Amino acid sequence: MRTVYIKTYGCQMNEYDSSRLADLLRESHGLLRVPKPDGADVLLINSCSIREKASEKLFSDLGRLHEWKRLRPEVLIGVGGCVASQEGEDIQRRAPYVDLVFGPQTLHEVPALLHAAQRRQAAIDLRFLEIEKFDNLPMPRAEGPRAFLSIMEGCSKYCSFCVVPYTRGNEFSRPFDDVLAEAAVLAGQGVREITLLGQNVNAYQGRRHDGRMADLAELLEYLSCLEGIGRLRFTTSHPLAFGDRLIDAFAHLDKLVGHLHLPVQSGSNDVLERMKRGHTVEEYKAKIARLRLARRDISISTDFIVGFPGETADDFDATMALIDEMRFDLSYSFAYSARPGTPAAALADDVPADVKERRLARLQAVNLTHARHISEAMIGTVQRILIDREAPRGRGDLSGRTENNRVVNFPAAGRTGLVGRFAAVRILEARPNSLRGELLDLEEPSRLRIDYTVTERYS
């Protein structure tokens, strides 16, 4: 069988795109996705431009893939994703052995681009086609009990440091019914937990079959009634579009996990203004306070950028004070570096590299301490987990995830067929990257029945 290797960089949306691309190429070209480039007939890179020096990394990766093509000239090499969107035709100018180039919105054109490349014709398509991409992808193939589902793309917030609006375009949402249909297919394939994806997922506005627009709160309400689905997550959110309806969803939707990733980026209003985030620290804190009223034990993770242009010692102290006050769980943080083409790239990058490093180390140490304390506080509690695989280090243990996304490993005592079941486990021990527990009880799958009262309202 002919094979394709896809290297994916970046966020869960890119992972989702790569897996949908693999589904598409299996249908169109009979290509089987393989985990290594050795011997593959098609080599693709799904790039990401969020991290520093993204294009340099891309070209050094391409150099390595070129070695395979030197051995087998019939191999085709393609580049997709956000760096492809930014660099465009320059990719083939700098690396003429690249056969096809596609953007995040033209994944569905890859089969046609492959045909063109095989005939030695131009194979580049970087249009922003919005919803057309989803209309032309096959239904997904589930690879376990957890799955991603992309419900919107792009972003219209234009934070001054971020490339997403330029590489993925403005926000657009998939139609409501299409999302429900894809979720139903996933549920039918054994998926029990769905994570809804979007760069700015809480800005979702999907058109329903009756022409009315539905927001994320309504989508979650319908998805939570879907037979087989026992758990819902969504990421990534922006504080601005986080309205009361969505906050209330945490109060009344049992299947919506008590965990939320809500980036704040800085604890200083001056920095937030230069970042063009559109909200203040106080507004952010007010959202969290409302969320904690709706779901008392909700765990919040966030993102920080340290050393943004003009960040003073006082600004950084304000960030540390916010961390102490909010006690975030498992936060992600980076030292600032300019992304070409963004408004912030025109600002003087005036925080010295060693200061950025020191601040980042301090911030990460405190965040790790908070995350560890949260894990330790879970010892002795009973958690609902979705069992999703065998534990990596064997011994017949199984592994699952809690609502706050922690991995729990537990002995299965030789029991089989438990992957995909929800279970109650008691937490016995907190380790640096996982928890250890004991199995107490298994939920009956019949608990995941459809709620007809809501579907009747919808039909």
Contacting residues toward ligand SF4, per CB under 6 A = 155, 157-159, 162, 164-165, 199-200, 238
Cα 213 from Cα 282, distance rounded (Å): 30
Cβ(220)–Cβ(256) under 8 Å?
A: yes
Compare residues 114 and 155 and give the one whose CB is closer to ligand SF4: 155
Compare residues 5 and 304 and give the one whose CB is closer to ligand SF4: 304
Tokens of 189: 């394939």
The 8-class DSSP code of residue 240 comes to G
Say how many C-beta atoms besides its own lie within 10 A of residue 245's C-beta.
13
Compare residues 97 and 158 and give the one whose CB is closer to ligand SF4: 158
Closest approach of Cβ 268 to ligand SF4, in Å? 17
Cβ(308)–Cβ(190) under 8 Å?
A: no
The full length of the chain comes to 459
Is 126 buried (19+), middle (13-18) or exposed (0-12) by CB count in 10 A? buried
Tokens of 84: 């492809």
Closest approach of Cβ 265 to ligand SF4, in Å? 8
Closest approach of Cβ 409 to ligand SF4, in Å? 33
Q: How far is CA 123 from CA 126, 396, 408, in A?
A: 10, 48, 46
Closest approach of Cβ 336 to ligand SF4, in Å? 13
Closest approach of Cβ 323 to ligand SF4, in Å? 19
Compare residues 216 and 408 and give the one whose CB is closer to ligand SF4: 216
Closest approach of Cβ 241 to ligand SF4, in Å? 9
Tokens of 223: 């998805």
CA torsion sign for 148, 150, 154, 155 is negative
Closest approach of Cβ 170 to ligand SF4, in Å? 10
Compare residues 43 and 164 and give the one whose CB is closer to ligand SF4: 164
Cα 16 from Cα 18, distance rounded (Å): 5
Cα 61 from Cα 263, distance rounded (Å): 30
Closest approach of Cβ 53 to ligand SF4, in Å? 19
Compare residues 19 and 202 and give the one whose CB is closer to ligand SF4: 202
Tokens of 262: 């809500």
Compare residues 162 and 246 and give the one whose CB is closer to ligand SF4: 162
Cβ(228)–Cβ(185) under 8 Å?
A: no
Nearest partner of 213 among 186, 177, 181, judged by Cα:
177
Closest approach of Cβ 200 to ligand SF4, in Å? 5
Compare residues 236 and 375 and give the one whose CB is closer to ligand SF4: 236
Compare residues 334 and 458 and give the one whose CB is closer to ligand SF4: 334
Compare residues 161 and 422 and give the one whose CB is closer to ligand SF4: 161
Cβ(94)–Cβ(127) under 8 Å?
A: no
List of E strands, 87-143: 100-102, 124-125
Closest approach of Cβ 421 to ligand SF4, in Å? 35
Cα 125 from Cα 79, distance rounded (Å): 11
Compare residues 200 and 399 and give the one whose CB is closer to ligand SF4: 200
Cβ(152)–Cβ(203) under 8 Å?
A: yes
Cβ(237)–Cβ(202) under 8 Å?
A: yes
Q: Look at the block and give the residue holding tokens 């959202």.
A: 287
Closest approach of Cβ 455 to ligand SF4, in Å? 33
